[in-house]
Chains A and B, each alone.
Chain A
Amino acid sequence: MTNTLERSNASGKVLAVAWREFKHTALTKAFIIGTLVFPVFIWGLMAVSQLFISREPPPLTGTIAILDPGGLVAAEATRQFEELKNRAAPSVSSTVEAVSKATQGDAAAVAKLAEGLTEDTGRVAITVIHETDPTKADELRTKVGSNELLAFASIDPKLLTIDPGDVKLELLVQTTTSPKHTSLYSRILREATVKSRVASVGEDYAKLMTMLKSPEFNTQRVTRDGGTAKERADARMLVPIAFMMLVWIATFSSGNYLLTTTIEEKSNKVMEVLLSAVSPMQLLAGKILGQALVSAVIIVIYGALAFWGLLFLSMADLIQPILIVYLVVFFVMAYFMIATIMVAVGSAVSDLREAQALVGPAMVVLIIPLALLVPIVDSPNGMLATITSFIPPAIPFIMILRLGGTEPIALWQVLLSIVIGFGSTFAMLWAATRIFRVGVLMQGKPPTMLELLKWVRYQ
């Protein structure tokens, strides 16, 4: 019946396992949606949401009372509101416009207009109070509490002197006032107070501000070929973080796939069928190779998207070619470290819940790069960064964080981390293969860490 079957060579088995692993992970709807569509969807959602999210505070309706015996700050505040009229909500604009027209910018006129009564100039009214009677302030405070007033500001005359000391500008707002409105009130009143103070000593505020204006820098980075490029310090800080996250996402995604497919093969009882056809080593090699391809696909896709973004922003010069080399080296190291942990744990347990208990100790070390991300990026040659660069399995993540930064890292540290990293990777791979060959046929109670160590020693 099948006596003329053609045979392939032994390496074909490893490749067959690898291809099945890749195909049933990467060429699935879940992967395509999770890896490609979902990030694009999130990116699109963020972009679209920016179009609809207004940075301006929502419209105000009500009355703002300003207790200002001199009336200068209140007038200045009114002018500040007027400056907002093109950007502020229509109700505020119309109010400011009405007040300005009525007073023609004259503080005294404003005070006169509003004195003793609430002048409704639209949806928002500004009431200026000149009385210094404490009971009046208490009355206004009560009105804010009962939401009759939007806010109440009290301007101490000392604030308009050259040396106001510790005197503060009192601002009372409703408990339901949005932070944006509070910020708006504070900004306008602060600026109005300063302008009034400057005016009270006969100086020109606009001239003074012009004099105080700090010069802008035009910082350029000079490249090796003598050219220049715009310096973007913030973007440079993000590069190492982006590289580390790239390696993290790519390796942990495929590591998790490796864990779940191994558990699935055990729970489906298909493992013994596989082991009748291939050795545990061939199966392990095929699985790790297949998921390495998955991981490579992830890192290439996300890396290409990120690089495209940099090109779009004319910031591609931030990525030095040597950084790509380091990325490849430490990605390979990181993948094999994570893969060996995941495949060993997957072979030893029967479900994901049991796996979590065994993966936990490794995660404590692997979380170091995330927990120490800021201090390491801030000080890539600091003691913390240097020491953690030699602790597996955190090595590749820490090193890519350090190497992606601006400070040069000593070559001996790079080489030592590569030697320690790949040395420990081979040790982990050796231990994983020994655990795998025992674990894949084990059923029932999951092993403890001590039992896993015993499996490593089994002949």
Chain B
Amino acid sequence: MFPNMIRPAPERDAAISLRGVEKRFGTTRAVAGLDLVVPRGSLCGFLGPNGAGKSTTIRMIMSIIYPDSGTVSVLDGTALANKDRIGYLPEERGLYRTMKVSEFLIYIGRLKGLTAASAHRSASEWLERIELKGISKKKCQELSKGMQQKVQFIASVIHDPELLILDEPFSGLDPVNAQLLTSIIKDLNRSGKTIIFSTHQMHTAEAMCDRVVLINHGIKLLDANLADVRAQFDPHSLILEPVDESFDIREITARVPSITSVEFDDENRLARLLRVDPALDPQSVMSDVVRAIPTRSIAIKRPTLTDIFIQLVEATGGAAPSLSEIGDGAAAGSTAHREGGSR
């Protein structure tokens, strides 16, 4: 039995509020009765596998497309009315190929309501901050894909928006640039900006967000603070690395009765995942294990969003997404497969 993790934030201080939002494309239901509240000042991850309905929801939030039913409120109005207070990085990104970088950014700044001088100043500052100084006179088509992506990110923040909506901001970025962008997003959030970003890479969201919303097939499966989610989805498991690698770890179930099963842990092929009786405190079981077998290391396993997502999808009767749908990084770092028998 899974805890109910639909714990929407209070409506009174919402930057974004969706109520009963439905969207169909022909016979496909992209979003189904979605309720969502993103509190002001939060850094919210909008998660789900490819085709979950994330981009459709974001486009409705941005008033680029409209819901078939339900209401959408952004900054106490509509995105149309508050365009200049919102920064948006769409999933399908584009640039004017023959425009110079600075010219493009100033143009977008002007469209976002800045004066030409302010747009010019902001573009220069952001180019320096995002480590693209010196390319302002280059044409957009002369940039590498990663550089183009960073320019597109600047276009979404050039007007200093109070709400930032980023659709898959890290896709296509190398680890160094992804780290740079992560740092900037966190800084912006710390300075008071509300940020919601979609991703299908759970580990990215896990490292950044204070709040997560998880959807699949247009249905919300999870909506809560990350800390609450972790507390609720405690896997009651220990990660054990024995001193003797040849030790038959399955014997531990005989030696420590509170261990219900043993699995390989994919994060560390030398380690084993020990499932603990949910009725018991994992910390007390740890000392039993250490006494039972020579131990190199032992720790209480933290729940990953990937684990949680897979559990939620399976529990709600839907097919669990493939690892590639969830994201390779997440897959490598969080899945486990069964090896040992259960008691």
Contacts and interface: CB of A to CB of B under 8 A. Distances in A.
Interface of A: 1-3, 5-8, 10, 12-13, 16-17, 20, 24, 264-265, 268-279, 441
B64 A275 contact: yes
Contacts of A8: 110, 113-115
A326 to B, nearest CB: 37
B113 A13 contact: yes
Interface of B: 62, 64-65, 80, 83-84, 86, 88, 90, 92-99, 107-108, 110-115, 117-118, 121-122, 125-126, 129, 152, 155-156, 158-160
Contact of A5 (B80, B97, B98, B122): B122
A370 B113 CA distance: 45
Contacts of A7: 84, 113-115, 118
18 contacts: A1-B126, A5-B114, A5-B115, A5-B118, A5-B159, A10-B113, A16-B107, A17-B111, A24-B96, A24-B98, A265-B96, A268-B96, A272-B92, A275-B64, A276-B88, A276-B90, A278-B111, A279-B80
A203 B158 CA distance: 98
Contact of A273 (B80, B115, B152): B152
B96 A276 contact: no
A272 B84 contact: no
A16 B104 CA distance: 12
B64 A276 contact: yes
Contacts of B155: 273
Contacts of B97: 268
Nearest to B95: A270
Contact of A268 (B95, B158, B159): B95
Contacts of B83: 276-279
Contact of A6 (B98, B118, B152): B118
Contacts of A20: 107
A272 B64 contact: yes
A16 B112 CA distance: 10
Contact of B99 (A2, A24, A274): A24
Contacts of A273: 88, 90, 93-94, 108, 152, 155
Contact of B114 (A6, A265, A270): A6
Nearest to B159: A5
Contacts of A24: 96, 98-99
Given A3-B160, A5-B159, A441-B64, A13 B111 contact: yes
Contacts of A279: 80, 83
A8 B116 CA distance: 9
Nearest to B165: A276
A2 B96 contact: no
Contacts of B118: 2, 5-7
Given A1-B129, A5-B160, A277 B94 contact: no
B274 to A, nearest CB: 48
Nearest to A277: B111
A123 B54 CA distance: 90
Nearest to B104: A270
A12 B110 CA distance: 8
Contact of A2 (B88, B110, B160): B160
